[in-house]
Amino acid sequence: MVLYCSILKRENFEWVAQKATEIGVGEIVPLVTQHTVKLELKEGRLKKIVQEAAEQSGRSVLPKLQIPMGFEQAVHEAKLNGTTLFFDVSGKEFDKKMIKDSEKVNIFIGPEGGWNEGEIEIAQKNKFIFVNLGKLTLRAETAAVVGTYLASRGL
């Protein structure tokens, strides 16, 4: 499972990386979108957080931590590698049947403020599965962890 998560403000992206590691994600890709505010990450600190989370959860293999990637490049990679869940309020409620026959699942989580229209159109053109997490509006870091957890249970 690959988590493509927009870089979030403050320490929120570090928290997402920590929790995604505990859940069992195989790869974490910091995503740069149109609404991304923060662009720099402390790579050494992030690697340490991921390593400690892996130890805490009993994982023997660390998730691969990618360098920040632009949205269009991430879409190109994801469409070549499995089923992609694109979390957005316009989507259908998550159902594990969406990924039932998938060997690999990609999860896209947008920034604070959500995706812009162009990003939504690109995801639609690439036939990503639009998914929401219910009626409540979640913070981006909460959506990342909940979405990742639900997808991991569906595999």
* pLDDT at residue number 101: 85
pLDDT at 100: 86
- The 3-state secondary structure of 25-88 reads CCEEEEEECCCCCCCCCCHHHHHHHHHHHHHHHCCCCCCEECCCEEHHHHHHHHHHCCEEEEEE
Q: What domains does the chain contain, in order, with CATH numbers?
A: 2-154 (3.40.1280.10)
Is 138's pLDDT higher than 70?
yes
Q: For 4-8, 36-40, 116-120, 139-143, which range has the lowest pLDDT when averaged over its residues? A: 36-40
What is the C-alpha separation between 32 and 51, in angstroms, rounded?
23
Distance CA 30, CA 71 (A): 10
Per-residue model confidence (pLDDT) at position 137 = 87
DSSP structural state of residue 110? -
CA 130 to each of CA 12, 19, 94: distance values in angstroms, whole numbers, following the listed order: 23, 23, 9
Is the model's pLDDT at 62 over the cut of 80?
yes
Contact call for residues 63 and 28 (beta carbons, < 8 A):
yes
What's residue 94's pLDDT?
Answer: 93
DSSP classification of residue 136: S
**Percent share of the chain, pLDDT over 90:** 87
- Give the tens place of pLDDT for each residue, 26-50: 999 999 999 998 888 999 999 999 9
pLDDT bin (cut points 50, 70, 90) of residue 51 is very high
Residue 155 in this model has a pLDDT that exceeds 70: no
CA–CA gap between residue 117 and residue 111 (Å, rounded): 13
CA distance 39 to 28: 16
What pTM was estimated for this model as a whole?
Answer: 0.95
- Termini Cα distance of the chain: 9
The continuous run of DSSP H or E covering 92 comes out as strand 83-93
